[in-house]
Amino acid sequence: MTREALKRLEAGLPGPWYYDPAHYQRELEAFWYRRWVAVAREEELPGPGDWRTVRIGTQSIVLARDEDRIRGFHNTCRHRGSILCTEERGNFARRRIVCPYHSWTYDLGGQLVATPRRMETPDFDFGDFPLYQVAVASWGGFVFVNLAGRDAPPLDVGALEAQFKRYRLGDLRIGKRIVADVQANWKLLGENFSECFHCPPVHPELCRVVTAYRDAGAWGLRGAETAPEFAAGAATLTLDGSARLPPIGTLTETERKTIYVPAMLPPSLFLNVQPDYVNAHLMTPTGPESLRIVYDWLFEPERLPLGGEDLQHYVALWDVTNRQDARNCEWQQQGIQSREFKHGHYVPQEFDCHRFDEWVRAGLAGEKPAD
Ligand code: FES
Ligand SMILES: [Fe+2]
């Protein structure tokens, strides 16, 4: 990905795009219901019959592990539409999905297999009522769903595939998870992740380790830099830059010394990759002005469980930084409501925000016209 400063001030997206319910609906259709969305880690469904629900916009999806694969279904019964799973996670006893209303029963492939107490009619065909499937794929241990179902293209993670090939992402395991409900439009979080103009005022802890960020996103854009990128002696991103774990075993010498790689797979997955751990963000919208983010700290499985103090050593920096980002996005969400606010302005080093907004505009332009 090229880093090139903008040559002029660029306009951000129109203010109402961040709160207008009708516009939010357009974006749900264009991005969240038609693209691959990272929603979970495979390790959350370790055994046959394990399930969990995830929410994207207004849609509730059940992820369920069959013998060797994870399937996804809309959380709705083919009888009269009750949700099937009323909790966040569990295991389907006897590998049967039983609706809590009139007990229509499905197998893990989504086929209707029993309808207890139903009086017979000649027209009833069990084959007519399978659960509605969504497409499911995984990469790097992340479970992605695509609500386009059979129309979904293959999952394509682009440059991330080569970039993180040796980071064992698929093997890494959750050492810590923090879930946050944030009162902001999902695009503000995407824009926030795309610039470091905000780093000096917002992230004093991060700037102590990533010294380049004191330059407010301009580092590396003016030609040869003389200031170092990281604090002296830093080995990873922790509050003091020290590492208590060895680098991921499969990394090259250069990757072991690469203290930080940020990456984004819009709309839902953000990665902060260090040589010895990964902080992953799984984001899904819950409304025009709200979203949920699941923050996972991922480690090599042989390093887990990490003792409390060592775990805190690794969690603290991104935890404080993520909270700062969420808080600032909530403040921005409030300010955008002003009748006078038309759109934001991107300064040169916010080039990636502009790129993100272009991606949003392109996605909306490719949207099928409403019926
Ligand atoms: S709504 Fe599910 S069995 Fe009736
Ligand atoms: Fe930030």
Q: Please report the pLDDT score of residue 222 as a whole number.
A: 83
Its pTM stands at 0.96
Task: Give yes or no for residue 367 having a pLDDT over 90.
Answer: no
Whether 73 contacts 133, CB under 8 Å? yes
pLDDT tens for each residue of 190-223: 999 999 999 999 999 999 999 999 988 888 888 7
Residues near 358 by Cβ (< 8 Å), separated by ≥ 6?
Answer: none
Q: Which ligand is nearest to the CA of 196?
A: 2
- In order of start, what are the domains of the chain with their CATH numbers? 1-19+169-371 (3.90.380.10), 36-159 (2.102.10.10)
Long-range contacts of 201-207 (CB under 8 A, 24+ apart): 202/324, 202/325, 202/328, 203/321, 203/324, 203/325, 205/239, 205/317, 205/320, 205/321, 206/237, 206/317, 206/321
Task: Give yes or no for residue 3 having a pLDDT over 90.
Answer: no
Characterize 14-27 residue by residue with b for buried, 16 or more Cβ atoms within 10 angstroms of its Cβ, and e for exposed.
ebbbbbbeebbeeb
Residues with CB under 6 A from ligand 1: 77, 79-82, 99, 101-104
For 304, the 3-state DSSP assignment is coil
Residue with tokens 């984004």: 264
Most informative mutation of 74, 99, 117, 124 for ligand 1 (most atoms within 8 A of CB): 99
pLDDT tens for each residue of 157-182: 999 999 999 999 999 999 999 999 99
pLDDT tens for each residue of 274-314: 999 999 999 999 999 999 999 999 999 999 999 899 999 99
